[in-house]
Amino acid sequence: EPEVTQTPSHQVTQMGQEVILRCVPISNHLYFYWYRQILGQKVEFLVSFYNNEISEKSEIFDDQFSVERPDGSNFTLKIRSTKLEDSAMYFCASSFTGGAIFSNQPQHFGDGTRLSIL
């Protein structure tokens, strides 16, 4: 069964450094998402992406964050200057539908990248 893959599984970075988290969504999916989960807390929505542009972003997704689909298969999340509070699990998800009011295909999640900021 096709799956969403994320690399690396664990990323350790010094505060202030840039980090890029990578995701390969399911190949025929059109909608892409990033979520994060701080240890012991809820899974939080960060951003949705469709047709090569951001559809929606949360308050967490400030100017330090950006997303890109550089080619036909990868979907990346960049944090420009990391802070201690960016330490979390970051999950990528994709879905075939996601924009039409009657669309119902579920999002499929990767196993995440654990980001540790020192």
Partner 1 sequence: DAKTTQPPSMDCAEGRAANLPCNHSTISGNEYVYWYRQIHSQGPQYIIHGLKNNETNEMASLIITEDRKSSTLILPHATLRDTAVYYCIVRVFTSGTYKYIFGTGTRLKVLA
- The yes or no reply on residue 101 touching partner 1 (CB under 8 A) is yes
- The yes or no reply on residue 108 touching partner 1 (CB under 8 A) is yes
Place of tokens 């802070």: 83
Tell me the backbone φ, ψ of residue 110, rounded to 5 degrees.
-80, 175
Q: Which of 13, 45, 78, 96 binds partner 1 (CB under 8 A)?
A: 45
Q: How far is the CB of 21 from partner 1 (least distance, A)?
A: 13
Bridge partners of residue 64, in order along the sequence = none
- The yes or no reply on residue 112 touching partner 1 (CB under 8 A) is yes
Length of the chain: 118
Q: Which of 55, 69, 76, 78 binds partner 1 (CB under 8 A)?
A: 55
By three-state DSSP, how is residue 9 classified? coil
Q: What is the C-alpha radius of gyration for the chain, rounded to an integer number of angstroms?
A: 14
How many whole angstroms separate alpha carbon 112 and alpha carbon 93?
A: 9
Query: Which residues would be at the binding site for partner 1 (CB under 8 A)?
Result: 4, 6, 31, 33, 35, 37, 39, 42-45, 48, 50, 55-56, 89, 91, 93, 98-99, 101-104, 106-112, 114
